[in-house]
Structures are given as C-alpha cells and as structure tokens.
Amino acid sequence: MYFIDTHTHNYDTAYSGEEDEVISRAVAAGVTKLIQPDIDSKERDRMFSLTAKHKGVLFPMLGLYPGSVDKEWEKEIEKMLDYKDENIVAIGEIGLDFHFSRQYEKEQKRAFKAQLELADKMDLPVNIHERDAWDVFFSVMEECRHLNIRGNIHAFGGSIETFERLQKYGDWYVGIGGTVTFKKASVAESIKKIPLDRILLETDSPYLTPAPHRGTRNESSYIPVIAARIAELKETDIGEIAVRTTENAEKLFGI
C-alpha cells in the first residue's frame, strides 16, 4: 500500500535535526510522497532546502498563509514570486482565518483573491486553509467564479452541505487528517457521505496528531492510522482507501 500526505510541514522547527529520520519513517510506513505547504518568507528557504534534498518524495507548494497576512501582504507575495519556477505543485496554503482576530480581514481577502488569480494564471491547484471564515470564503469564491479553480480544503471539518456547496465553485477535494480519529469528531458523519473520489489524506504535522498518539508530535508516518479510520467510516478496507486517495492526490497535484 502506498499513501500520499497532501499537507505536512516536514521543515517545521519541531523537527530540527530529525527531518531525515521523520521522512524515512514516513516512507517506511508507505507514505511515499509528502506535499509541503508554504507559509511565508521566514520559513520558505528552509522548506525549499529540504524539498531539494528529498526530490521525488517532498513536493513544494507556494503561498502566503492567512495568519501571516498583514498590511505588508503585497510585499510578501512579491517575495513569493521569486520561487514560482521551482517545480511548484500548488498555490498554498492560502485562505482565510478569523479564529483569533479579524484585524486584517480586508487584507486577508485581498491576498486570498490575488493568490487564486495566480493559481489560475499558473494553472495550478490551490490548497486552502479556512478557519471560522466560511461566509467570507464563499463571498470571495463568488467574486472569482470566472477563474478556473481547482483544489482542496485542508483539514476539512465541515458538513456535507458545505462540501456540496464547494462543488459549485470548481473541482474540489477535502483533506482529512487526525481529527477524524477523535472520539467526538463531527467530520466523521460528513466522511460517510463525501464520495471517496473527493477525499485526500493529510497529517498537517507536526499538528493535529491522530489518536492514539494525541499529545505527541505528529508526523507523516501516521497517515495509515487516518486511512484506517476512514476505511471504518466508509465500510471498506484500508487498501481501497490507499489506492483511491493516492489516485486523487496524483490527479489533483500532478505528481
């Protein structure tokens, strides 16, 4: 069985000095491709250095994370564009996050829209971070109906109604991670109804560690744990989850 982790921060400082070992454990667990979301100019060089070292296993995205957006967002995007020819597989992680503050709501919306336009121009999928911002997210998508947009919502925790609404705005998948293994995970009911050909696997490591490993640092080698839980919910076997989600990721990201 082979898996793809479609959202993992292997370059995060939580792994400092252990990056190679963590990546090796993932590959040994059958997780043979690891897609790296971009955050901002402070972390970008570290990400590209690691992806260059592990070509064929690590694949980079390019984007400005909503939590890094402030009044200087345009300068950040200018810096980002210096890397646009570096074998990018997606524009991400981009989006909207109003969980802690709406201070830069206007700037987040403008940065999000600008990066959707960039994805359309570069003919790349998008990897979306959305937190407590669905209404504004859909308003931006309405403004961008003219664009050719495809992508996935990472760490999806929404309802089946939200999933169905997404499909009106392009070709959309959902990334399912460790939260699906939590005892009171509301997304579990959505998973039962979301078609398997729309599901991607992810860890968001070092965050959102699946049970029974909660409380420890997450890593990509735990993808089979997530796949096993999805198999239970879909009443199938983990082999089918491996095959179908890998096909989905290869199709969306072109890897």
Tens of pLDDT, residues 191-220: 999 999 999 999 999 999 999 999 999 999
Domains of the chain: 3-253 (3.20.20.140)
The reported pLDDT for the residue numbered 88 is 98
Confidence tier at 49 by pLDDT (50, 70, 90): very high
pTM for this one?
A: 0.97
Task: Tell me the mean pLDDT in the region 1-13.
Answer: 97
Spatial separation of the C-alpha atoms in residues 179 and 56, rounded to whole Å: 28
Please determine, for residue 53, whether its predicted confidence score (pLDDT) is greater than 90: yes
The reported pLDDT for the residue numbered 248 is 98
Q: Render pLDDT for 140-196 as a digit per residue (tens, 0 to 9).
A: 999 999 999 999 999 999 999 999 999 999 999 999 999 999 998 999 999 999 999
Task: Tell me the mean pLDDT in the region 84-99.
Answer: 97
Mention every residue, 6+ apart, whose C-beta is less than 8 A from residue 220.
Answer: 5, 8, 10, 22, 23, 25, 26, 29, 31, 34, 203, 205
SS3 85: coil
The reported pLDDT for the residue numbered 184 is 87
Strands 3-5 and 58-60: unpaired
Please determine, for residue 77, whether its predicted confidence score (pLDDT) is greater than 90: yes
Q: Nearest CA to 248 among 209, 202, 190?
A: 202
Spatial separation of the C-alpha atoms in residues 63 and 157, rounded to whole Å: 22
Task: Tell me the mean pLDDT in the region 228-252.
Answer: 98
14 vs 28, 203, 207, 209, 244, CA distance in Å?
21, 14, 10, 13, 31
The reported pLDDT for the residue numbered 250 is 98
Residue % of the chain over a pLDDT of 70: 100
Residue % of the chain over a pLDDT of 90: 99
Please determine, for residue 96, whether its predicted confidence score (pLDDT) is greater than 90: yes
DSSP element (H, E) containing 191: helix 187-193
What are the phi and psi torsion angles at 95 (to 5°)? 145, -140
Task: Tell me the mean pLDDT in the region 30-45.
Answer: 98
The reported pLDDT for the residue numbered 130 is 98
The reported pLDDT for the residue numbered 128 is 98
